[in-house]
Structure 1
Amino acid sequence: MSDPVPVRSLRAWLDRLDGSGRLSVARPGICLRHEAAAVANRLDGRSATLFPRPGGQRGTIVSGLVSSRAWMAEALGTREDRLIAHFQQACAEPLPWCERETGPAQEVVHRGAIDILRLLPVPTLNEHDSGPYISAGLMISRDPETGAQNVAILRCQISGPDRIGVLVLPRHTDNFYRKAEATGRGLEVALVVGVDPACLLASQAIVPLGHDELEIAGALSGAPLDVVKCLTNNVRVPAEAEIVIEGRILPEVRELEGPFGEFPQYYGERAKRHVMTVDAVSHRENPIFHMIVGGGLEHLLLGAIPREATILASLQRNFPSVEDVHLSLGGVGRYHLYIKLRKSQEGEAKNVLLGAFAAHYDIKHAVVVDTDVDIHDPREVEWAVSTRFQADRDLVVIAGSQGSKLDPSTREGFGAKMGLDATAPLDAPPMKFTRIRVPGEAEVDLAAVIVPEADWRAEVGG
């Protein structure tokens, strides 16, 4: 079977989903406060959802675009079993973007007195969210010294007509911001809403400072990404985007932002955060606003897949016998890691566990299993733990370590890590850990052996 054809715009992906029965269209006028998010959550993982004229406003909302690994792989033109390798290759071999004079993202332009909530259908998602949030916007910033760009998805609260509260974490955007703030200037940024799946996934790449994730997006979809220069600053944005909000993150200004429903399915706290002021808004005719509901499958998978690629590469550098890793959805795509190991010596699994905790501070619990266990099936992993793990010899606990600050069980990210070696001993007798199997089970053609609508009484003779 040949690989699927990659898509290069949000609308092309919607056509693909619609043509295969994976797009639901809600009745017009769904309420922007909670109702759109509630419908999206009910359909999460089954279909994407389109909301025409939500809240009676012009425009359209879409959610659930990449709510499964299989969908993500299809959108990128690869197979699900090659998704991590495909992502790793794109990060290693990015494609420089291609700048155009203009593009669909700038078909309609608004300047002057900007009122975001009048221009765009921005929803309120979870029960205690502090207000409307842009939850699926790519925050694209530019190093004021080198011109290198960075792309990230940051939570963005609409705080006023032209004012956005932004949670800037101590990563690349913050590095650029500090350089700009040191000179008394705001950081030029663009908040881009409504992009293709490759741009979404690339925004989450864990790469060194100075690597432009838009170049990774091009590599993911197999062709250089078309970009355009913003109208009021020097940031380059995807030309096929639905909506671009141009502005600056202000120096020395902090205002209250939050709470907001985050990926652990708890709320991120209210605190003083950075502030973006809006200089212009451009968009396509009849733009589509992408909404990611906090804690849903789309939110979890966009974080999990890039982390898996990074963790796998880190582990394989030191442990070539590691074959695969998986961040489970039960562990919110961040905290629980399953590792498949072709063990060659005793003690190796525990070393792998230590390497996993060092590979990313978010990892809280890790399980190492043998190659006969499907790490993408939580029942299989649980079976391995129940039959191959003994707490007094196979448990690793690391106290007082750095974890996720969004994990409410920690003290501001300070907590413990636990590793489970659920591999079989190498010197076990041959049949002790041999899994039961019925020969030929996988090859049975059920359509050839099962009689549909048969009368069982007639078959047994009365």
Structure 2
Amino acid sequence: MSQVSSAAPSPVFTLRDWLDRLAGNDRLAVAKPGIGLVHEVAAVANRLDGRKASFFPRPGGHHGSVVSGLVSSRAWMAEALGVSQGELVRHFQKAAANPLPLNEVADAPCQTVVHDRDIDILKLMPVPTLNEHDSGPYVSAGLMISHDPATGAQNVAILRCQISGPDRIGVLILPRHTDLFYRNAEQAGEGLEVALVVGVDPATLLSSQAIVAAGQDELEIAGALVGRPLDVVRCKTNRVLVPAEAEIVIEGRILLRTREPEGPFGEFPQYYGERADRHVMHVDAVTHREKPIFHTIVGGGLEHLLLGAIPREATILATLQRSFPNVQDVHLALGGVGRYHLYVKLKQTQTGEAKNVLLGAFAAHYDIKHAVVVDTDVDIHDPQEVEWAIATRFQADRDLVVISHSQGSKLDPSTEGGVGAKMGLDATIPLDAPEMKFKRIRVPGQAEVDIDVVIASGSDWRGALER
């Protein structure tokens, strides 16, 4: 695990601990009771996005509470894990490589209250409707934890979940691990046992987005992120293990050979995911803490983008460094919705190396559409710095790489069913360039100047002129 300096804050272990931390530093806005669940919660959360998290008591007259914007900053996420922002991606890498076994407990706060008959999801919890053309209320920040009947392994993912009826949820399942488990259940002739978990600590939320092999339980990464095994409890109606400190757990099954309309829904590219027939979850029970808090993520907001970006960065960095050890860092820019635009920092040693890195980047994750490789003097977390490197070090006839008709994101509306082009830009300095040709200008001593010491109070320039 990463070593945390003495100055670093301690990690947090529950959602409520994190709310206390945010409130203690004026980063949590508490709304007046009664904010509307249809669009109004999302509107307020978006206005505060990246500056403050939002807490909504009794929205729309509901007895519950909603929170949003919990991790809408890289700095906040690092703080929640107890590391510096610069350590965040490498800390995630190490946690994913060194998961901690789960600690199963018999009793848990998430099962304080149990509903196992006459279930009506919208009466039990305040589920918002977010963007303008969303097809209805969505559980947008729920961890879908599934149990593979073939191996007993678990998978954790955030899937979009539309409330379709009192005890029915439409689920978009992509062709990944949840789909693999579903097909295994289908072969066994049974529904896929799942739990939809809402309201967890930042580490557990982030771990759900890890890109790992099928069969590795992402909840074990959550424990490694904060340095202690995650407490889990078995569901009341199936074999799924869920975080013991969660706010809400919706237990159920993905039904066999059942599809119902789901969507549209506002997705991370800030367009709508289309309506189509999707899988259906039947709800068998709902358990929760006393006075549970419902976490919602507004589609396309900073929280949505960062949760996808940080784990992908960790995976892409590890993938590139296996072939290119001189790659020092990577960044998925928010201007590319945290998925499509990759910046790579390279200590170049061989002519042509940057172009090979570009090809490796496209192979590292199919979502990457545009990639830029820069030298170590460029801050890849500053879009203006990257643009400057392109402006002064890149020539299209020499440094451009284009790969046509390749797999990309199906949610990118400019593709044809997810098939499009990829573009790589080599914005590094040629190794044989004369020393002064690309020498960056600098003023000696600039960084060391103490402005408070050298600048006089006030702005009386006329008086200064006469003195």
TM-score (structure 2 length as normaliser): 0.98
SS in 2 for 1:278: strand
Q: Distance in 2 between matches of 1:113 and 1:157?
A: 19
Alignment partner of 1:232 is 2:230:
no
Instruction: Please list the CA deviations of residues 380-403 of structure 1 after superposition, one character each: whole Å capped at 9, or x if unmatched.
Output: 000000000000000000001000
**Aligned residue among 368, 372, 375 for 1:363:** 368
Letter paired with 1:78: V
Alignment partner of 1:84 is 2:89:
yes
**Aligned residue among 140, 148, 154 for 2:159:** 154
Q: Indicate the larger mover: 423-432 or 404-413.
A: 423-432
- Partner of residue 49, structure 1: 54
- Partner of residue 408, structure 2: 403
Q: Distance in 1 between matches of 2:429 and 2:98?
A: 38
Q: Indicate the larger mover: 448-457 or 187-196.
A: 448-457
Letter paired with 1:286: K
Q: Give, in angstroms, the shift of residue 295 of structure 1.
A: 0.4
Q: Give, in angstroms, the shift of residue 454 of structure 1.
A: 4.1
- Partner of residue 218, structure 1: 223
Alignment partner of 1:331 is 2:332:
no
Alignment partner of 1:301 is 2:306:
yes
Instruction: Please list the CA deviations of residues 324-362 of structure 1 after superposition, one character each: whole Å capped at 9, or x if unmatched.
Output: 000000000000000001011111100000000000000
- Partner of residue 461, structure 1: 466
Q: Indicate the larger mover: 196-205 or 142-151.
A: 142-151
Alignment length (residue pairs): 462
Aligned positions of 1:56-205 closer than 5 A:
56-205=61-210
- Partner of residue 3, structure 2: none
Aligned positions of 1:415-430 closer than 5 A:
415-430=420-435
Letter paired with 2:41: A
- Which consecutive unaligned segments of at least 5 residues does structure 1 have? none
**Aligned residue among 10, 15, 26 for 1:10:** 15
Letter paired with 1:277: H
Q: Give, in angstroms, the shift of residue 2 of structure 1.
A: 2.2
Alignment partner of 1:449 is 2:450:
no
Runs of at least 4 residues of structure 1 off by over 4 A?
none
Q: Distance in 1 between matches of 2:271 and 2:457?
A: 47
- Which consecutive unaligned segments of at least 5 residues does structure 2 have? 1-5
Alignment partner of 1:268 is 2:281:
no
Q: Distance in 1 between matches of 2:235 and 2:392?
A: 58
SS in 2 for 1:429: coil
Q: Distance in 1 between matches of 2:292 and 2:190?
A: 31
CA RMSD of aligned residues (A): 0.8
Q: Distance in 1 between matches of 2:162 and 2:69?
A: 20
**Aligned residue among 428, 440, 443 for 1:438:** 443
Aligned positions of 1:380-391 closer than 5 A:
380-391=385-396
Q: Give, in angstroms, the shift of residue 455 of structure 1.
A: 2.2
Q: Distance in 2 between matches of 1:453 and 1:247?
A: 66
Q: Give, in angstroms, the shift of residue 452 of structure 1.
A: 2.6
Instruction: Please list the CA deviations of residues 157-182 of structure 1 after superposition, one character each: whole Å capped at 9, or x if unmatched.
Output: 00000000000011111111111112
SS in 1 for 2:127: coil
Q: Distance in 2 between matches of 1:430 and 1:98?
A: 58
Letter paired with 2:368: I
Q: Indicate the larger mover: 439-448 or 319-328.
A: 439-448
Letter paired with 1:246: E
Q: Distance in 2 between matches of 1:262 and 1:346?
A: 40
Alignment partner of 1:392 is 2:404:
no
Q: Distance in 2 between matches of 1:19 and 1:445?
A: 30
Q: Distance in 1 between matches of 2:465 and 2:212?
A: 65
Alignment partner of 1:314 is 2:336:
no
Q: Distance in 2 between matches of 1:305 and 1:21?
A: 25
SS in 2 for 1:250: strand
Instruction: Please list the CA deviations of residues 193-229 of structure 1 after superposition, one character each: whole Å capped at 9, or x if unmatched.
Output: 0000000000000000110011000000110000111
Q: Give, in angstroms, the shift of residue 3 of structure 1.
A: 2.0
- Partner of residue 291, structure 1: 296
SS in 2 for 1:251: strand
SS in 2 for 1:205: coil
Letter paired with 2:191: G
Q: Distance in 2 between matches of 1:34 and 1:451?
A: 49
Q: Distance in 2 between matches of 1:36 and 1:164?
A: 21
SS in 1 for 2:37: coil
SS in 2 for 1:315: helix
Q: Distance in 1 between matches of 2:252 and 2:392?
A: 57
Letter paired with 2:408: G
SS in 2 for 1:157: strand
Q: Distance in 1 between matches of 2:32 and 2:53?
A: 14
SS in 2 for 1:410: coil
SS in 1 for 2:196: strand
Q: Distance in 1 between matches of 2:405 and 2:376?
A: 32
